[in-house]
């Protein structure tokens, strides 16, 4: 040992000078690693350490705010959107007899089963009040924490409709040509659709469904909207039902890649994004729809 030490001192004087320090550092590092390992084992066995705030309580992608594409400021000091003192009021809707339930549910299904997506429209006008009622009905939809994260932009002005058509057709041309790819385009063949969207000028109204990621309160605080995508999609479902119920038609469209330009054109704020574009009106006299059928109950319902 002594001869080793002499050899090091002679051949590597710098190493010899720092060896005690290096040894001490190594001992500290090994001890810390050991303590950390011990803590991990203890935590696993006792389960006593609560999960860190805002981390492990949701699986990846399951947090209700995980859809946000930007960092959110801390809203923890903002007052809640709805007061904790909100009065709970009686709710006693009429209870139907089983016979009536059966008859009403069947009739409603049969009526809704007549709904079809239509891409050829009549230019006949529709009273604005009908559209207002349809939008009112969509606004009765449930929403996460009652945030009501939607705006329905109703376009009646023919100049704006033409501008919308121009934006959408330009993007759709590229969508069909390059973005969607052969498989997607071939899966859509049965619809007989392409970039041409004449109905965007023919239909008396276009309804653009906007989803709101958040809203700014009067106090300047930014309120995040929980589950804003699902909530707005459900409201859009209500809207489709209301359109059909009023004897009108639409086609659910997702203007791929045109959302930003449409939002700018419509002068909508940064907290909103385009979700759907719906032409609304009467079908053209010679309108045709693909002769597809719907899955039977056995395929869409699982009873356990």
Ligand X SMILES: Cc1cc2nc3c(=O)[nH]c(=O)nc-3n(C[C@H](O)[C@H](O)[C@H](O)COP(=O)(O)O)c2cc1C
- 209 lies in the site for ligand X, by CB under 6 A: no
As measured in angstroms, the least distance from the Cβ of 191 to ligand X is 6
Task: Give the burial string for 172-201 (b: 16+ CB within 10 Å, else e).
Answer: beebbeeebeeeeeeeeeeeebeeebebbb
Residue 231 and residue 141 in contact, taking contact as beta carbons nearer than 8 Å: yes
Token pair of 170, please?
Answer: 């330009």
Which of 6, 36, 162, 252 contacts ligand X by CB under 6 A? 252
- Residue 165 touching ligand X (CB under 6 A): no
Q: Residue 127 corresponds to which tokens in the numbers above?
A: 């009273």
Under rule CB under 6 A, residue 289 binds ligand X? yes
- Contact between 253 and ligand X per CB under 6 A: yes
List Cβ<8 Å contacts ≥24 apart for 71-74: 72/214, 72/222, 72/224, 73/222
The residue nearest ligand X at its CB is 117
Count of residues of this chain found to bind ligand X when the rule CB under 6 A is applied: 10
Cβ(199)–Cβ(279) below 8 Å = yes
Least distance in Å: CB of 250 to ligand X?
A: 9
Task: Tell me how far, at minimum, the Cβ of 53 lies from ligand X, in Å.
Answer: 36
How many residues belong to the chain?
304
Q: Pattern of binders to ligand X over 108-127, x per CB under 6 A? A: --------xx-x--------
Q: Which stretch binds ligand X (CB under 6 A): 86-94, 137-145, 218-226, 252-260?
A: 252-260
Helix (H), strand (E) at residue 216: strand 214-216
Q: Residue 29 interacts with ligand X (CB under 6 A)? A: no
Q: Which tokens go with 188?
A: 């859509």
Return the residue of 251, 266, 275, 280 that touches ligand X, per CB under 6 A: 251
Give every strand in the sheet of 150-155, ordered side by side. 150-155, 205-212, 272-280
| Region near ligand X per CB under 6 A, out of 5-13, 102-110, 145-153, 250-258 | 250-258
String marking each residue 168-207 x if it binds ligand X according to CB under 6 A: -----------------------x-x--------------
Instruction: Identify which range of 56-64, 72-80, 209-217, 248-256 contacts ligand X by CB under 6 A.
Output: 248-256
Output 75 or 229, the one with its CB closest to ligand X. 229
Cα–Cα dist 220/218, whole Å: 5
Q: In 3D, which of 203, 192, 197 has the Cα closest to residue 255?
A: 197
Binding residues vs ligand X (CB under 6 A): 116-117, 119, 191, 193, 251-254, 289
């Amino acid at each position: 040992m002594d001869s080793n030490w002499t050899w090091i001192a002679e051949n590597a004087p710098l190493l010899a000078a720092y060896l005690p320090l290096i040894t001490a550092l190594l001992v500290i590092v090994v001890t810390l690693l050991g303590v950390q390992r011990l803590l991990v084992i203890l935590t696993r066995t006792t389960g006593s350490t609560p999960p860190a705030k805002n981390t492990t309580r949701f699986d990846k992608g399951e947090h209700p705010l995980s859809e946000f594409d930007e960092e959110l400021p801390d809203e923890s000091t903002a007052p809640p959107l709805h007061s904790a003192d909100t009065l709970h009021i009686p709710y006693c809707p009429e209870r139907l007899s089983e016979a009536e339930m059966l008859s009403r549910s069947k009739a409603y299904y049969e009526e809704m089963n007549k709904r079809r997506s239509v891409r050829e429209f009549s230019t006949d006008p529709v009273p604005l009040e009908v559209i207002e009622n349809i939008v009112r009905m969509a606004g009765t939809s449930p929403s996460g924490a009652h945030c009501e994260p939607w705006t329905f932009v109703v376009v009646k002005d023919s100049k704006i409709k033409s501008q919308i058509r121009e934006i959408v057709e330009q993007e759709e041309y590229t969508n069909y040509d390059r973005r969607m790819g052969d498989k997607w385009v071939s899966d859509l063949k049965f619809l007989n659709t392409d970039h041409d969207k004449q109905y965007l000028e023919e239909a008396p109204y276009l309804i653009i469904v906007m989803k709101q990621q958040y809203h700014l309160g009067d106090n300047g605080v930014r309120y995040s909207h929980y589950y804003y995508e699902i909530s707005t999609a459900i409201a859009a479902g209500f809207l489709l039902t209301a359109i059909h119920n009023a004897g009108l038609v639409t086609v659910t469209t997702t203007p791929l890649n045109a959302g930003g330009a449409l939002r700018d054109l419509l002068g909508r704020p940064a907290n909103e994004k385009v979700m759907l574009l719906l032409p609304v009106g009467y079908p053209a006299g010679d309108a045709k729809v693909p002769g597809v059928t719907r899955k039977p109950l056995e395929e869409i319902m699982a009873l356990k």
